Amino acid sequence: MSTDPEKGKEQALIKEAEAGKSRLLNLKPPSWTPGRAFAVTFAAVILVLFALTAGKLFEHVDADEIVVIQSPISGTLTWYTTPGLKWQGWGSVTRYRKSFTYWFSYRPDQGAKTDQSMKTRFYDGGHAKISGSVRVDLPLDEKSLTGLHIRFGSQDAIEHALVGTVFEKSVYMAGPLMSSKESYAEKRPLLIFYIEDQALHGVYQTTTQDVRMKDPITGVEKTVTLTKIVESSKAPGGMARQETSPIQEFSLKCYNLAINQITYDDIVEKQILQQQEAIMAVQTAVARAKEAEQDALTAEQRGLANAKKAKWEQEVIKAKQMTEAEQRLGVAELDRKTAEQRKQESILLGQGEAERRRLIMDADSALEIKINAWKEVNRYYADQIGKQRWVPEIQWGGAGAGAAAPGQAANDLVNLFAIQTAKQLSLDMKIPEKRR
């Protein structure tokens, strides 16, 4: 009789399962010994502790943070200045800010809600509260950071116990270096310099001297204590220091000091206002004096300008007249030269005419002229004789022997006139012979 192989395998598996079930039912629980119980309990505690402290295995560091982790066993300090996930190993973590603003302001929206401004006293006895802020950067080297952590141990302690204390001392020591009025006006930038310089390099060594000064308002003399900085060529800025600044000692960097308010005592504020009014009055008087002086200078300059203008107008007239005179002189010179030319021309003409006449005289002894003159004389005589009655209308008696013929006397007179004229003219009626 044949059997199915697959069916046989199935029956075998069923039998094996039933046998295993029978063995399990027949098992006895293990024995619970004290050692085994302690081991199980210890393992459970470790698992619970691991679950509770799993958050202390790693620590995340932000970009603006400096984190130090102290090992729970060795106490070693490990510094992290770069951002990212860092191994903590159940160590204690302290966080610091790489850069922060320290406020000592009176305003509730700057820093704390209370007035944190710092007090100072000026050499004239006036008090004031200075409000402002400063920017601070922590060092990034492990040596400086370890020193800060050991001495202060927290961000709050660095801000108030270190930075706050240093600037409070610097503010207080800067006040006696000037008066209230000077801090209000002309020495305000110097006040900021004194505060920042002492905070960074240490407070100044100073000397004091009591002097008598007049009050700028009342004019009453009073004794004031002047504070002067001791100079030293070896110290920073040429000013001696009482101590090294903790800011410098711990390698902090402070910058951008800003003063946003100086609140004076009421009496000091009143004095400053009175001083300002007095100064304004003096400045007004000086301005008016300068204005009057300027007006005088302006009038003087205007007068000088008008004088120069009149002078130059006269110079213009003079120049015009000189030009016209030069023109007239030029014309006169031209006329003189023309007259000289005409004179020379006339002389030459006269010399030519004289030479011509001389030649004529040499040629015919001015016969033509003489003849014309003789003609004119005889014509004149003829005209005059023609107007006379030479023969009387009535004659008495006859002509005797030897008596002149009638009219003979007139003819003789004419002949005499002709002879006289010819003699006067040296007239030679003869025709000269031709020269051979």
Q: Could you tell me which residues come within 8 angstroms of residue 55 by beta carbon, excluding any fewer than 6 positions away?
A: none
> How far are the Cα atoms of 119, 130, 131, 213, 257 from residue 262, in angstroms, in the given order?
10, 5, 6, 25, 14
The pLDDT of residue 2 is 45
The pLDDT of residue 250 is 94
Predicted structure pTM score:
0.54
Q: What is the pLDDT of residues 269-286, one digit of tens each?
A: 787 777 777 777 777 777
* Spans of the chain, pLDDT less than 70: 1-10, 13, 17, 19-33, 36-37, 40, 46-55, 215-219, 364-367, 385-386, 388-414, 417-418, 421-436
Q: Answer whether 77's CB lies under 8 Å from 94's CB.
A: no
Q: What is the pLDDT of residues 6-21, one digit of tens each?
A: 666 667 767 776 766 6
Q: What share of the chain is helix, strand, coil (3-state, %, to 5)?
A: 55, 20, 25
Determine the Cα angle at 18 with ends 14 and 23, to 5°.
150
The pLDDT of residue 1 is 44
Rounded distance, CA 319 to CA 313, Å?
10
Rounded distance, CA 6 to CA 12, Å?
10
The pLDDT of residue 191 is 93
Domain residue limits, the chain: 54-93, 98-264
Tokens of 336: 């003189």
The pLDDT of residue 254 is 95
3-state class (DSSP) for residue 344: helix
Determine the Cα angle at 34 with ends 29 and 40, to 5°.
75
According to DSSP, residue 242 is labeled: S
Q: Quote the strand ranges of 215-273, DSSP E.
A: 221-229, 253-264
3-state class (DSSP) for residue 111: coil
CATH code that applies to domain 98-264: 3.30.479.30
